[in-house]
Amino acid sequence: MADVTPAMVKDLRERTGAGISDCKKALVENDGVMEEAIDWLRKKGLAAAAKKSGRAASEGLVGIASVPAKAAMVEVNSETDFVSRNEAFQAFVQEVAKVALHVGESLDAINAAPYPGTGRTVAEELVHLVATIGENMNLRRARVLSVPQGAVASYVHQALKPGLGKIGVLVAVEGASEVSALETLGRQVGMHVAATRPEALDTNSVDPAALEREKAVLSEQARASGKPENIIEKMVEGRIRKYYEEGVLLEQVWVHDGESRVKAVAQKAGAKLTAFARFQLGEGIEKEVGDFAAEVAATAGIAKPSA
235, 175: one domain: no
Q: Is residue 254 part of a domain?
A: no
pLDDT at 297: 45
Structural domain count of the chain: 3
pLDDT at 142: 97
pLDDT at 56: 53
The boundaries of the domain holding residue 131 are 59-192+271-280
79, 171: one domain: yes
The answer to whether the CB of 277 falls within 8 A of the CB of 73 is yes
Greatest alpha-carbon pair distance for the chain in Å reads 86
Per-residue pLDDT of the chain (307 residues; tens, 9 = 90+): 578 888 888 888 777 767 777 888 889 989 888 888 887 877 676 655 545 554 556 799 999 999 999 999 999 999 888 889 999 999 999 999 999 999 999 999 999 999 999 999 999 999 989 888 888 899 999 999 999 999 999 999 989 999 999 999 999 999 988 999 999 999 999 999 999 999 999 999 988 888 888 888 888 777 877 878 888 888 888 888 888 898 999 999 999 999 999 999 999 999 999 999 999 998 877 555 444 445 444 434 444 444 4
pLDDT at 209: 85
Give the separation between CA 249 and CA 190, rounded to whole angstroms: 11
In this structure, what CATH number is given to the domain that contains residue 12? Answer: 1.10.8.10
47, 63: one domain: no
Q: Is residue 29 part of a domain?
A: yes
106, 175: one domain: yes
Give the separation between CA 12 and CA 16, rounded to whole angstroms: 6
Say what the alpha-carbon torsion angle 27, 30, 33, 38 is, to the nearest 10 degrees: -70
66, 168: one domain: yes
In this structure, what CATH number is given to the domain that contains residue 159? Answer: 3.30.479.20
In this structure, what CATH number is given to the domain that contains residue 243? Answer: 1.10.286
The answer to whether the CB of 249 falls within 8 A of the CB of 273 is yes
Q: Is residue 126 part of a domain?
A: yes
Q: Is residue 227 part of a domain?
A: yes
Query: Which class for 299: exposed (0-12), middle (13-18), buried (19 or more C-beta within 10 A)?
Result: exposed
171, 108: one domain: yes
67, 183: one domain: yes
82, 143: one domain: yes
Reported as type and span, the H/E element at residue 67 is strand 59-67
Q: Which residues are CB-neighbours of 248 under 8 A, at least 6 positions away?
A: 198, 199, 200, 201, 202, 203, 205, 206
276, 145: one domain: yes
Q: What is the DSSP letter of 290?
A: -
213, 239: one domain: yes
Q: Is residue 116 part of a domain?
A: yes
184, 65: one domain: yes
Q: Is residue 197 part of a domain?
A: no
- State the Rg of the chain over Cα: 25
Q: Is residue 16 part of a domain?
A: yes
Q: Is residue 243 part of a domain?
A: yes
Give the separation between CA 58 and CA 80, rounded to whole angstroms: 8
DSSP-assigned letters across all residues of 166-227? SEEEEEEEE-SS-HHHHHHHHHHHHHHHHHH--SBSSGGGS-HHHHHHHHHHHHHHHHHTT-
Among 130, 18, 19, which residue's Cα sits nearest to residue 78? Answer: 130
Give the separation between CA 273 and CA 147, rounded to whole angstroms: 10
48, 65: one domain: no
